[in-house]
Amino acid sequence: MSNTQIQIFDTTLRDGEQVPGCKLNTPQKIIISKQLDLLGVDVIEAGFPVSSPGDFKSVEEISKIVQNATVCGLTRSVENDIKVAAEALKYAKKPRIHTGIGTSDSHIIHKFKSNKDAIIERAARAVSYAKSFVEDVEFYAEDAGRTDNEYLARVCEAVIKSGATVLNIPDTTGYCLPHEYGAKIKYLKENVKGIDKAIISCHCHNDLGLATANSIEGIINGARQIECTINGIGERAGNTALEEVVMIMKQHPYLNLDTNINTEMLYGISQLVSESMGIYTQPNKAIVGANAFAHSSGIHQDGVIKNRETYEIIDPKDVGVTESAIVLTARSGRAALAYRAKNVGYELTKLELDTVYAEFLNFADTKKEVIDSDIHEIIETSKIYK
């Protein structure tokens, strides 16, 4: 892997599926996995095999059909979890076990009623055990966002010694600010002995709306994997949105960071995940929302009709959207009306347009959006035909 290449670890089927009411069955997960594999993600986190027989079955079936991506199963630092995950992954061409434990004071004291040294020992033991089944072992330090950096570095050092190939530094509660998360990654790069033997992964939650910004800060500071989900779905306010981090790297080439993602599939896979889970994507969602390439104010429409780049930084075709939408509302101008009228077959002269535009405005005031059939009606009943 070149140093400019960022691995995309998709956890739509694990962290994403933790959204209440969004449970998928195995056939649905297989369809999504096939699309993720074609999309070019490097890792598919297929589930948490010990959590239920259904999840075990899904991980096993996904392992059989994925052709290119690594297939990953989540575990706690518990022997039985790891053994069950290894069993579920046995058909995978490239299996990965993702094991870990909470490392913040809050997790150590309240959740585990333990101490820092004992947690390090348990983490190292879990990684060694996972390593007895598969070569590729990722370790997560749950709540790393609120773990002090010095202790986190000790944990990382211990699990690298036990053979961890990837170090996941989750901001589990979405608490960090971008500069703090970036500094955490930099600190680990500079202070963990043996860090060159592993890659650092960002896993950011969106409780404060900072998941994407934090992940980008993470890779700018040396992380080489981002954990994310389609449409940013996930626990509470969700995870980092795959489509956002991928397009940020593509639109900012000077960052010199690249992914294997076939971006033209982004819109289609967003729709697939949203429909399969029955979870509606907000219209103003970056990259894949219904309004991401829609223009409705007169000034913007005039600019986009003259040159798309005036108000769009992404070519919609690059993410699988056929074209920008010029939405007709009472805020639209003559240029937008002439453009949409031409699309449905009317080439209006300047004089005709002036007349039709006045009639259009009266009509538009009565409706949220003027659609193609309305355009026909407005023009056909207009004074220009009388």
Q: Which does 168 bind (CB under 5 to 8 A by kind): ligand KIV, Zn ion, none?
A: ligand KIV
Among 131, 184, 203, 224, binds ligand KIV (CB under 6 A): 203
Residues in 145-174 that interact with ligand KIV by CB under 6 A: 168, 170, 172
Query: How far apart are CB 279 and ligand KIV at their closest, in Å?
Result: 18
Q: Which does 63 bind (CB under 5 to 8 A by kind): ligand KIV, Zn ion, none?
A: none
Query: How far apart are CB 208 and ligand KIV at their closest, in Å?
Result: 14
Query: How far apart are CB 29 and Zn ion at their closest, in Å?
Result: 18
Among 10, 15, 81, 157, binds ligand KIV (CB under 6 A): 15
Which region, judged by CB under 5 A, interacts with Zn ion, from 15-23, 101-109, 131-139, 348-356?
15-23
Q: Which does 140 bind (CB under 5 to 8 A by kind): ligand KIV, Zn ion, none?
A: ligand KIV
Q: Which does 142 bind (CB under 5 to 8 A by kind): Zn ion, ligand KIV, none?
A: ligand KIV
Instruction: Tell me whether residue 103 is exposed, middle or buried, using C-beta atoms within 10 angstroms of its C-beta: 0 to 12, 13 to 18, 19 or more.
Output: buried
337 φ/ψ angles, rounded to the nearest 5 degrees: -65, -45
45 binds Zn ion (CB under 5 A): no
Among 15, 17, 60, 171, binds Zn ion (CB under 5 A): 15
Which region, judged by CB under 5 A, interacts with Zn ion, from 14-22, 31-39, 91-99, 135-143?
14-22
Query: How far apart are CB 235 and ligand KIV at their closest, in Å?
Result: 7
Binding-site ranges for ligand KIV (CB under 6 A): 15, 140, 142, 168, 170, 172, 203, 205
